[in-house]
Structure 1
Amino acid sequence: MQVKINNLDFHVEVCGEGFPLLLLHGFTGDSSTWTPFCPIWGKHSRLIIPDIIGHGKTASPDEIKYYQMESVASDLIRLLDLLEIDQIDLLGYSMGGRLALTLAILYPERVRKLILESASPGLKTDEERMQRRMKDGELANFINEQGIKSFVDHWEAIPLFSTMGTLPSPVKKSIREQRLSNNTRGLANSLLGMGTGSQPSWWEKLFLLHCEVLLLTGDKDEKFCKIAEKMLQKMKKASWIVINQSGHAIHVEQKEKFGTIVSDFLSIKN
């Protein structure tokens, strides 16, 4: 369905029954990231699956202010209000994980349980954030100048996704086609507004989380395993699971394990 939020059109998929579960995809993804899990999670949860701004069928405005992490989190709260949902379980992957963490920190009363797949609280220092903003700016220029196909070729080749090379050809083809369905303005502006260098650092706010948190990383994703280990030390009610034979995109590389772990975590009574 299409809904109007903050004068922007948002595309949202809904399936399943039970306690609401808001699902947030990663950069270059869309709501189809999570639709394969509807038959599994839909048995115990009502899945709310938006295309994040700049992605899929949701609007891709020119103004960067709409893409800022706090603004996007606020729009998601407006979506929940529109759907008359007071509290949610929340799962985010990579960029969607950073957005999920932002929402949980800014609106703690709205989140019952939080699942972060291959996600981080951002960068700790101003210098790190400045350097990352420069790199994201260069990448945004690349998207605008070279077009979506050249960018997707580049994106698929970065080391972070090297483990996805062993996926079956039909799966890789489907992921590529979905990435290509995005538009240059939306992806470029997402980098500028929601990039790791542009968002606030939440490292010193992690202790504020009172909801139960599950951190998920793939054993081949060394960078995000190290981040998860540090996050675990700063959160009160967090646990961490490392999934074997997986890299960054666990939900694709180990779909069955991922689905079961999420179901088990959400089904446990507080």
Structure 2
Amino acid sequence: MDVVVEGLTYHVDVYGNGFPLVCLHGFTGDVTTWTPFVEDWCKRSKLILPDIIGHGKTESPEEIERYHIESAAYDLNKVLDHLGVHQVDLLGYSMGGRLALTFAILFPERVRKLVLESASPGLLTETERELRRMKDAELAKLIKDHGVQAFVDYWEEIPLFSTMKSLPKSINESIRSQRLNNSAIGLSNSLLGMGTGAQPSWWGRLNELEMDVLLLTGKKDNKFCLLAEKMLKELKNGTWTIFENSGHAIHVEEKEKFGTIVSDFLNT
């Protein structure tokens, strides 16, 4: 379905019944990220799967301000209002994890349980954020100058996704095909507006979260394991699960185990 928020049309898929579970995909992804889990999860949850601004079938406006992570969180709040849903469980992967955390901090009363897969609260210092903004601006220029395919060619080769190369060719081809369906303006503006350097640092506010929080990381993704270890010390009700055979994209690399652990956490 389409939901219009402040003049921007969001695409949202809704499945099943039960307590609502909102799932937020990562950068270059879309709602199909969660397709392998729909059949099982919708037996116990009402799944709400939005395409984040600039991705999939959701619009990709020119105004970078609409991509700011707080703006995207406020849009999600309006989407839930439109659906008549007050409180949800919230799952986010990578960029979607940063958005999920932002939403939980800004609207804590609306989140019952929070699952963060390979996610970060942002960068601690302004110097770190400025360096990251410069790098993201370079990538945004690559997309604008050379198109989505050239960017996807580059993105597939970054170390963050190196463990994906051991997966069956059909899986990587499917992910590539989905990534190529995104728009150049949507991806470039997402980097500029919602990148890790553009968002506020939430490190100082993690201790405000009262809900149960599950951190998920792949053992082969050392950077995000270190982040999760630090986050766990700040969270009041946090737990952390490490997937031995995964890198960054756990939901792809250890799909069955990921689905089971998320289900167990949400239904206990």
State whether TM-score is above 0.5: yes
Could you say what the CA RMSD is over the residues aligned between the two structures, in angstroms?
Answer: 0.4
d(CA) in 2 for partners of 1:236, 1:251: 26
d(CA) in 2 for partners of 1:92, 1:4: 22
Aligned to 1:190: 190
Q: Which amino acid aligns with 2:34?
A: W
Gaps of at least 5 residues in structure 1 are none
d(CA) in 1 for partners of 2:45, 2:112: 13
**Once the two structures are superposed, what CA deviation does each residue of 1:109-159 show, in whole Å capped at 9, x if it has no partner?**
000000000000000000000000000001100100011100000000000
d(CA) in 1 for partners of 2:92, 2:40: 17
> Cα offset for 1:257?
0.2
Structure 2 SS opposite 1:119: coil
Identity %: 65
Structure 2 SS opposite 1:96: helix
Gaps of at least 5 residues in structure 2 are none
Aligned to 2:128: 128
Residue 148 (str. 1) matches residue 159 (str. 2): no
After superposition, residues 29-68 of structure 1 pair within 5 angstroms as 29-68=29-68
**Once the two structures are superposed, what CA deviation does each residue of 1:135-186 show, in whole Å capped at 9, x if it has no partner?**
0001100100011100000000000000000111111110000000001000
After superposition, residues 77-116 of structure 1 pair within 5 angstroms as 77-116=77-116
Aligned to 2:179: 179
Structure 2 SS opposite 1:199: coil
> Cα offset for 1:43?
1.1
Aligned to 1:3: 3
Output the TM-score relative to the length of structure 1: 0.99
Structure 1 SS opposite 2:150: helix
Aligned to 1:117: 117
**Once the two structures are superposed, what CA deviation does each residue of 1:7-50 show, in whole Å capped at 9, x if it has no partner?**
01110011121100000000000000012211111111100000
Aligned to 2:219: 219
Aligned to 1:167: 167
d(CA) in 2 for partners of 1:195, 1:253: 24
Length, aligned pairs only: 268
Aligned to 1:260: 260
> Segments of 4+ in structure 1 off by > 4 A?
none
Output the TM-score relative to the length of structure 2: 0.99
d(CA) in 1 for partners of 2:57, 2:267: 31
> Cα offset for 1:85?
0.3
> Cα offset for 1:3?
1.4
